[in-house]
């Protein structure tokens, strides 16, 4: 799952004065939530992109500039430390912070690979404060503030639930259609480039990046298929035609 979010809330008295782009590669959803929550306070104006796999992270780094990267050392499809080689191969300047659940050898390996800093986080998120503080320090941003109490939820206007569900169904169709067109172009070009790499001697780093792009297009296509299935089920429940 890919999750892009923007935290544009400033501290008391004004809007955010700092804009920091961060790629967060974390397969553990609970740890990711704890890390995001602390970073939102340590880095006002945070613009973060979250993904869960090495392939997705490679695709992001190949086409997007980030101020920093934070990755788990163990990802579902490989070692997060591989991103250090990718960064150097692409001649990027972003510092890479490594999250591990193990002390000792794992931390030493990350440091030898060139990680800016290594953090040990427990399953309950303990250690997230130190993680956020160190990243903010390395990026030259003010330190972490104490978490404020959660604001009371705003009063929600009572709306017709059926109308809301119908609006949701319609909007998912519009979004899926908007994504599908450029995705088709990307998938076609990725396939073409892969065929070219098989015919010519191409740098393995470039070939792997193209393979990652093609893999990402398959993941997105599968997600769109699931979205289409959901839209059809909603339409059936409402007794309406499944149209945009």
Query: CA angle 199-200-201, nearest 5°?
Result: 140
> What local confidence, expressed as pLDDT, does residue 125 receive?
60
117 with 10, same domain? yes
How many angstroms separate the CA atoms of 166 and 134, rounded?
46
Which residue from 65, 26, 27, 56 is spatially nearest to 212, judged by alpha carbons?
56
* CATH code of the domain covering residue 57: 3.40.50.2300
Strand partners, 51: 25
How many angstroms separate the CA atoms of 179 and 224, rounded?
8
105 with 223, same domain? no
Q: How many domains does the chain have?
A: 2
How many angstroms separate the CA atoms of 147 and 41, rounded?
7
Residue 156 lies in a domain: no
Residue 155 lies in a domain: no
Cβ–Cβ < 8 Å for 42, 132: yes
Instruction: From residue 175, give the alpha-carbon distance in Å to each of 87, 103, 186.
Output: 32, 44, 17
> What local confidence, expressed as pLDDT, does residue 10 receive?
37
Sheet holding 68-72, edge to edge: 3-6, 46-51, 20-25, 68-72, 96-100, 117-120
> What local confidence, expressed as pLDDT, does residue 71 receive?
92
Residue 60 lies in a domain: yes
Host domain of residue 197: 161-238
How many angstroms separate the CA atoms of 147 and 164, rounded?
33
How many angstroms separate the CA atoms of 212 and 65, rounded?
17
Q: Which residues contact 68 (CB under 8 A, 6 or more apart)?
A: 20, 21, 22, 23, 94, 95, 96, 97, 135, 138, 139
> What local confidence, expressed as pLDDT, does residue 181 receive?
75
Which of 105, 138, 171 terminates a domain? The answer is 138
Residue 217 backbone class (left: φ over 0; alpha: ψ -120 to 50; beta: rest): alpha
56 with 165, same domain? no
Cβ–Cβ < 8 Å for 186, 219: no
Q: pLDDT in tens for each of the 244 residues of the chain?
A: 344 434 333 334 443 345 778 889 999 888 888 788 887 777 777 777 888 999 888 888 877 788 889 999 889 999 999 998 888 888 888 899 988 877 667 778 888 888 888 888 766 566 677 777 877 787 776 544 444 444 444 544 555 777 777 777 777 777 777 787 788 888 888 888 888 888 888 888 888 888 889 888 888 888 888 888 888 888 888 777 655 5
179 with 131, same domain? no
3-state SS record for 90-131: CCCCCCEEEEECCCCHHHHHHHHHCCCEEEECCCCCCCHHHH
Which of 138, 169, 188 terminates a domain? The answer is 138
How many angstroms separate the CA atoms of 128 and 32, rounded?
10
Q: Is the pTM of this model over 0.75?
A: no
How many angstroms separate the CA atoms of 129 and 91, rounded?
30
Strand partners, 75: 78
26 with 132, same domain? yes
> What local confidence, expressed as pLDDT, does residue 11 receive?
38
């Amino acid at each position: 799952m890919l999750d892009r979010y923007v935290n544009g809330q400033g501290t008391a008295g004004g809007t955010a004065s700092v804009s920091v782009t961060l790629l967060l590669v974390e397969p553990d959803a609970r740890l990711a939530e704890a890390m995001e929550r602390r970073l939102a306070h340590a880095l006002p104006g945070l613009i973060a992109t979250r993904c869960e796999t090495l392939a997705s992270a490679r695709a992001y780094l190949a086409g997007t500039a980030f101020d920093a990267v934070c990755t788990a050392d163990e990802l579902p499809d490989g070692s997060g430390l591989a991103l250090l080689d990718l960064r150097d191969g692409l001649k990027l300047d972003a510092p890479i912070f490594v999250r591990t659940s193990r002390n000792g050898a794992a931390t030493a390996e990350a440091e030898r690979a060139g990680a800016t800093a290594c953090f040990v986080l427990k399953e309950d998120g303990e250690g997230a404060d130190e993680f956020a503080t160190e990243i903010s320090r390395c990026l030259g941003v003010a330190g972490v503030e104490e978490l404020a109490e959660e604001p009371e939820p705003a009063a929600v206007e009572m709306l017709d639930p059926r109308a809301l569900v119908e609006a949701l169904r319609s909007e998912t169709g519009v979004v899926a259609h908007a994504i599908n067109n450029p995705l088709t172009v990307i998938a076609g070009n990725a396939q073409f480039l892969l065929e070219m790499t098989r015919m010519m001697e191409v740098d393995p780093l470039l070939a792997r990046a193209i393979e990652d792009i093609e893999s990402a297009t398959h993941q997105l296509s599968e997600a769109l298929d699931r979205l289409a299935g959901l839209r059809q089920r909603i339409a059936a429940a409402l007794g309406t035609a499944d149209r945009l």
